[in-house]
Chain A
């Protein structure tokens, strides 16, 4: 099929089987490759859920190291903080123009009971991620969730996908990103998706409210080290949903809240909720142009800024939910769709896992 991409900004694409069917990585590569012209070769990446069924209860850490010293220091750290069930290089194939990759290694980790006296397991893991990223020079956590992983680097997304041999993985959620970096340098850690625990974010846009989002997160102990605005999205959703236990539809109302003029017209109960969310969580409002796809173990969320300054199309076919910067990237992999729509500004598209992951 012919692909008529419009050359502007980054590209994102996401697909999910709400039944939990797992699909291999060639499809998502095909979708993101369709939007080649939206990237400039300075970053591409994928998040995949359901890829480690044999070790699905362990934290899968995908690591990037600048050098052997960083690897050794991090492995010492892991020994102190976790039980390491297995570690191995992340399989890659190197004949396709991807240059200067860091050392890529993955670890399957369990948290020792003894460490959890004063905090929850996921807070513990969050803290270790923050510690590694901020304290171990040359060491970077690409992903840290259970039964999921991020595969990213500097290059066009389709090249990165082949570099990581994504055809060998099957997932019920895939998200992908092609990057056209403007305000942060292209480096392997800086490619999307950004992740924390099982949250992953691919993002097209720029967060103009980054300054206050960052300061707000710092109040809750998050350390923002990555020289990019996308990580605030991952941390905000972690704070709102995991730590503050907001329902997902309420959390996205914080990130892209309705306008006051619309809130004022809501039914009383709904109006009270929307007003209070803005009063309490005003600092989490993501302002500026964005379209994002957030992945997590139980689903996928697509969201636009409040006045839709970045493109996003969604579609359904049977148990599949698709979202992408352009309809062409969806038609490329699913020409025959039940439903295609352009989500309204500030209105989330929420995919939920209904079945058992196969």
Chain B
């Protein structure tokens, strides 16, 4: 049956400019452009990834939203109607990729940052040191000295970050090996971390291991004692912001020779991550796994636990810290994914801003904030979000989508198809080849360098020269257009209120 779904985009080719080089035809990995005497688009297959338009030497291609008007309806939006059509045709769950695009409130955009005037001088980051260095890991409440000189306390393992921005967990499988290489190289150069996700550690990025967080998720793919020890830290993934409470599924067609080796599963089999860890049915089980990993790594690696931001996140985080985690990673409901059911991605979880504020405050009330670092992600879009997150109480932020965009991603949300035209979210060799790891690493380093400078500018304007003086300093934030309840949860005052 021919689909009734109208095309989402229209590919407009200027036939006068076009010199029939067929570059667009070769580059379109979604099969949306054919050559029939001339370049002929099939609009229904276009996902607006911009590959053709970007590479056309004559600048002859333009992509627009398909100007198809629907009968007006505030309630029955075109999107909802299209989804119903899709399901009426397929009987399936609607799959999607990347993060929640719905117009829920973005609290970052309702917070403003303070600055110095007169009584406390601002500091010029070009003249004075401006320190971003951050250590992740459990800290004791206090240090003990023997006499007045030597330290008696030994610290739990700490991971040094030169910039408080870490690359988010994205598995080899969800993204390509070239993308992984780029992330690993950039993390090493910038003194920060990348995260394997749950796809195991490919031998090609093993040399960067001391800048890599290795993940242990419900599928336990690629987890061996060697894997755990070749790392900067180990992360137990309980949940993900884009799909809290559900598992993952890498289809068998993506499991080629290399992924099979890295994940330790047969070629061509589906890689299924169960919704829960089947050895973790409550907090005491989590504690066992945390300590099993610490034993396996000789207590030399911080252990992180990643959870999705859900309603009761503060109490859960407190339990995680008490269970022995050195790092709590919170992933907000706008976080990205390679593939998730749309119903989950768009309707489950809570905003990271509120989750972070609630967790930081709860851990402080319980006097255990020192015992774990807090990492937050989902979605950190710009350096201002990083500054605001740290002021709310985060130790550092993680960026997934932003790092993909830096490498060339156009956020077309078709990661789950494996057809990524930019060589990022695909395993097809001819597509993967399009992403040059060196160039992509340069772009990632540029992004972090730029954000680092921007954070330093903001610190300078705040009159502080170390990131730890911003961390948790909610006094330097003000809310705009927020109701009292949101302000209370965020722990900030409304703009216009002084000290």
Interface residues of A (CB under 8 A from B): 182-184, 205-206, 208-212, 214-216, 218-220, 227, 243-247, 249-250, 257, 259-261, 269, 272-273, 276-283, 285, 287-289, 306-307, 309
For B465, B473, B474, which residue has the most chain A Cβ atoms within 10 angstroms? B473
Cα distance A279–B140 in the bound complex, in angstroms: 10
CB <8 Å contact, A209 and B145: no
CB <8 Å contact, B145 and A250: yes
Q: How far is the CB of A62 from chain B (nearest CB, A)?
A: 26
CB <8 Å contact, A210 and B120: no
CB <8 Å contact, A288 and B463: yes
Q: How far is the CB of B333 from chain A (nearest CB, A)?
A: 26
List of A residues within 8 angstroms of B120 by Cβ: 205-206, 208, 288-289
CB <8 Å contact, B116 and A246: no
B128 within 8 A of A: yes
Cα distance A206–B464 in the bound complex, in angstroms: 11
Chain B residues touching A, range: 35 or more
Q: How far is the CB of A305 from chain B (nearest CB, A)?
A: 9
Q: How far is the CB of A257 from chain B (nearest CB, A)?
A: 8
Of the candidates A211, A260, A277, the one whose C-beta lies within 8 Å of that of B476 is: A211
From residue 136 to 192 of chain B, which have CB atoms closer than 8 A to chain A?
139-145, 148-151, 153, 155, 158
Cα distance A273–B116 in the bound complex, in angstroms: 32
Which residue of A is nearest B149, CB measured?
A247
Q: How far is the CB of A341 from chain B (nearest CB, A)?
A: 23
B225 within 8 A of A: no
CB <8 Å contact, A287 and B471: no
Cα distance A309–B127 in the bound complex, in angstroms: 14
CB <8 Å contact, A279 and B121: no
Given A246-B143, A287-B463, is A212 in contact with B471 using a C-beta cutoff of 8 Å? yes
Cα distance A156–B149 in the bound complex, in angstroms: 43
Cα distance A210–B119 in the bound complex, in angstroms: 14
Of the candidates A208, A211, A272, the one whose C-beta lies within 8 Å of that of B472 is: A211
Of the candidates A209, A214, A280, the one whose C-beta lies within 8 Å of that of B142 is: A280
CB <8 Å contact, B475 and A214: yes
Of the candidates B116, B144, B364, B475, the one whose C-beta lies within 8 Å of that of A245 is: B144
Which residue of B is nearest A182, CB measured?
B119
CB <8 Å contact, A287 and B466: yes
Of the candidates A182, A247, A261, A276, the one whose C-beta lies within 8 Å of that of B118 is: A182
- 17 new A-B pairs (CB below 8 Å) besides A276-B155, A306-B465? A208-B464, A210-B475, A211-B475, A212-B468, A212-B469, A212-B470, A219-B367, A250-B143, A260-B131, A280-B140, A280-B370, A283-B471, A283-B472, A287-B463, A287-B464, A288-B464, A289-B463
What are 16 inter-chain pairs, A to B, with CB distance below 8 A?
Answer: A206-B463, A211-B472, A211-B474, A211-B476, A212-B471, A244-B141, A246-B142, A250-B143, A260-B131, A276-B155, A281-B143, A282-B466, A287-B463, A287-B465, A288-B463, A289-B121
B98 within 8 A of A: no
Q: How far is the CB of A186 from chain B (nearest CB, A)?
A: 14
Q: How far is the CB of A40 from chain B (nearest CB, A)?
A: 13
Of the candidates A214, A261, A285, the one whose C-beta lies within 8 Å of that of B129 is: A261
Cα distance A212–B144 in the bound complex, in angstroms: 23
B123 within 8 A of A: yes
Which residue of B is nearest A228, CB measured?
B499
CB <8 Å contact, A212 and B473: yes
CB <8 Å contact, B129 and A287: no
B135 within 8 A of A: yes
List of A residues within 8 angstroms of B463 by Cβ: 206, 208, 287-289
CB <8 Å contact, B469 and A285: yes
List of B residues within 8 angstroms of A272 by Cβ: 151
Cα distance A288–B470 in the bound complex, in angstroms: 11
Which residue of B is nearest A212, CB measured?
B473
CB <8 Å contact, A206 and B466: no
CB <8 Å contact, A279 and B135: yes
Of the candidates B118, B121, B129, B473, the one whose C-beta lies within 8 Å of that of A211 is: B473
CB <8 Å contact, B471 and A282: yes
Cα distance A331–B249 in the bound complex, in angstroms: 78
Cα distance A257–B149 in the bound complex, in angstroms: 17
Q: How far is the CB of B313 from chain A (nearest CB, A)?
A: 19
B369 within 8 A of A: yes
Which residue of A is nearest B145, CB measured?
A247
Q: How far is the CB of A275 from chain B (nearest CB, A)?
A: 8
B133 within 8 A of A: yes
Cα distance A214–B473 in the bound complex, in angstroms: 9
List of A residues within 8 angstroms of B305 by Cβ: none
Cα distance A245–B142 in the bound complex, in angstroms: 9
List of A residues within 8 angstroms of B498 by Cβ: 183
CB <8 Å contact, B143 and A184: no
